[in-house]
């Protein structure tokens, strides 16, 4: 960082600040690897835990359990948000990643339907609920932590690394799935190979917990702690003093979450089930696009520091509203090049949102309630419209018989968020509250 940036970070030495942000990014990456790997093994899990003569029904059940994990995210956002605003970001984030590691390991140890019958999907659902509880405390906490370390004029760039780490976690999950699908026979993958990334969860979780426990708290939080300005009831304060900002966070998450989980997670299963591409090929396309997505995010975050958050956020909405339908046409064609183009264009427009959005969320709230208020607004929207996005997309295809039906879901979310963005002011150039 530059000398000016170091000065802007207050009393924290520049080296310690860089270490803190790096540790936060690594911990976040490991957290989201654990959470996302379920989605990349959805096809295999559907056969082992939800056997049926109808493959679509099995896949829908698998995606339903994927979405069930998101139901606990608002609960996690309240529990860990309150704890993080009252006792510090470091303690909350350390507890969050430990819970994720344990619940991910549990999935890797579960018996399948042929072994214990209906108990298998029930246990799977319980493990996903625990993962969702952890994820609910992760997004808002890591966003608050990283953005609060950023100097004025660089919040978009520094904050974008929160999304780099989320994308990095998804990328690790996708890469793991791709490697295993190429390296193992379908029989070996179904027998034991799918368990490998879940069993690794305890290792990556342990590393993440160690890194986070060594973190200092942010200069912003330390300052309010020293001045005895820490909120004693952050949840109550968030919903009574900042209801408009919390609702804004909900509204700007609609497009963010629907587009994110459709373009980065669901499309792999879509290429397999609708376009009939081989699983290794579909996962390879997804992995390459994820890698490109992760590379693009810091550039869009940095651009938002120069031109503002709203132009990029609105451009992403416009891109999805206009192009989603033709992109699903390409993706369903059965052509590998067309499938790659469809997912690449989706992730390009998603990167326009992902880069500036952590800073945009953080800038809505003051430090004393940032963790709680940000987490609530974000996670309720994700629980309703993101976690169930793969299930809704699969259900729409089943009910309408139209393989392009998911496009309308994405378009609707983009249009609603665009309208909301026209009614909020630019915050990129204001001091952090």
Please tell me the predicted confidence (pLDDT) of residue 383.
85
Reported confidence tier of residue 14, pLDDT bands at 50, 70, 90: low
Q: Of all residues in the chain, what percent carry a pLDDT higher than 70?
A: 96
Q: What number of other Cβ atoms are within 10 A of residue 314's Cβ?
A: 18
* pLDDT tens per residue, range 352-401: 999 999 999 999 999 888 989 888 988 899 888 887 888 888 888 888 88
Reported confidence tier of residue 9, pLDDT bands at 50, 70, 90: very low
Report if residue 218 sits inside a domain: yes
Burial of 352 (0-12, 13-18, 19+ CB in 10 A): buried
Report if residue 433 sits inside a domain: no
Please tell me the predicted confidence (pLDDT) of residue 15.
60
323 vs 294: CA distance, rounded Å = 21
47-to-43, 55, 61, 279 alpha-carbon distances in Å: 7, 8, 10, 14
Report if residue 373 sits inside a domain: yes
Report if residue 426 sits inside a domain: no
Report if residue 195 sits inside a domain: yes
* pLDDT tens per residue, range 85-132: 988 888 888 888 888 888 889 999 999 999 999 999 999 999 989 988
Report if residue 431 sits inside a domain: no
Quick one: tokens of 55?
């493959």
**How many residues would you count in the chain?**
433
In this structure, are residues 365 and 373 in contact, taking their beta carbons and an 8 Å threshold? yes
Please tell me the predicted confidence (pLDDT) of residue 8.
41
Q: Which comes out higher in pLDDT, residue 168 or 39?
A: 168
227 vs 73: CA distance, rounded Å = 31
Report if residue 396 sits inside a domain: yes
* pLDDT tens per residue, range 158-186: 999 989 988 888 888 878 888 888 888 88
Give the domain CATH number at 257.
Answer: 1.20.1250.20
Please tell me the predicted confidence (pLDDT) of residue 7.
42
Please tell me the predicted confidence (pLDDT) of residue 343.
96
Indicate the number of domains in the chain: 1
Reported confidence tier of residue 3, pLDDT bands at 50, 70, 90: very low
342 vs 299: CA distance, rounded Å = 21
Full residue range of the structural domain in which residue 233 is found? 13-421
Q: Is it the case that residue 6 has pLDDT exceeding 50? A: no
- Mean pLDDT of all residues in 230-248: 88
Report if residue 7 sits inside a domain: no
Neighbouring residues of 169: CB distance < 8 A, sequence distance ≥ 6: 28, 29, 30, 31, 32, 33, 34, 35, 36
């Amino acid at each position: 960082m530059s000398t000016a940036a170091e000065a802007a970070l207050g009393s924290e030495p520049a080296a310690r600040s860089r270490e803190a942000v790096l540790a936060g990014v690594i911990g976040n990456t490991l957290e989201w690897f654990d959470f996302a790997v379920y989605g990349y093994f959805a096809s295999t899990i559907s056969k082992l835990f939800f056997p049926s003569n109808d493959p679509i029904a099995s896949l829908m059940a698998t995606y339903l359990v994927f979405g069930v994990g998101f139901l606990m995210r608002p609960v996690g956002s309240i529990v860990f948000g309150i704890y993080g605003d009252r006792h510090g970001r470091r303690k909350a984030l350390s507890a969050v990643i430990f819970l994720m590691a344990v619940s991910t390991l549990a999935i890797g140890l579960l018996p399948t339907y042929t072994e214990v019958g209906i108990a298998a999907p029930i246990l799977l659902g319980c493990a996903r609920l625990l993962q969702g509880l952890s994820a609910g405390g992760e997004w808002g906490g890591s966003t608050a932590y990283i953005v609060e370390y950023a100097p004025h004029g660089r919040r978009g760039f520094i904050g974008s690394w929160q999304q780099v780490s989320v994308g990095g976690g998804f990328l690790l999950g996708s890469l793991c799935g791709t490697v295993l699908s190429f390296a193992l026979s379908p029989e070996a993958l179904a027998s034991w190979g799918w368990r490998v990334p879940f069993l690794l969860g305890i290792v990556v979780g342990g590393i993440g917990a160690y890194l986070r426990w060594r973190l200092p708290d942010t200069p912003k939080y330390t300052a309010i702690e020293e001045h005895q300005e820490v909120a004693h009831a952050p949840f109550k304060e968030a919903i009574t003093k900042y209801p408009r900002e919390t609702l804004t966070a909900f509204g700007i998450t609609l497009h963010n979450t629907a587009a994110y989980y459709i373009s980065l997670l669901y499309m792999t299963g879509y290429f397999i089930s609708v376009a009939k591409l081989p699983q290794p090929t579909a996962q390879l396309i997804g992995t390459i696009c994820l890698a490109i997505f992760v590379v693009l995010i810091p550039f869009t975050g940095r651009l938002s520091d120069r031109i503002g958050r709203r132009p990029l956020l609105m451009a992403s909405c416009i891109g999805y509203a206009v192009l989603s339908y033709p992109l699903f046409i390409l993706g369903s064609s059965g052509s590998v090049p067309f499938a790659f183009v469809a997912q690449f264009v989706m992730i390009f427009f998603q990167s326009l949102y992902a880069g500036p959005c952590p800073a945009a969320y953080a800038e809505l709230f003051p430090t004393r309630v940032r963790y709680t208020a940000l987490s609530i607004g974000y996670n309720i929207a994700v629980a309703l419209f993101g976690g169930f996005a793969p299930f809704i997309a699969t259900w729409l295809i089943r009910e309408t018989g139209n393989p392009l039906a998911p496009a309308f879901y994405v378009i609707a979310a983009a249009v609603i968020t665009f309208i909301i963005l026209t009614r909020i002011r630019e915050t990129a150039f204001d001091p952090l509250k």
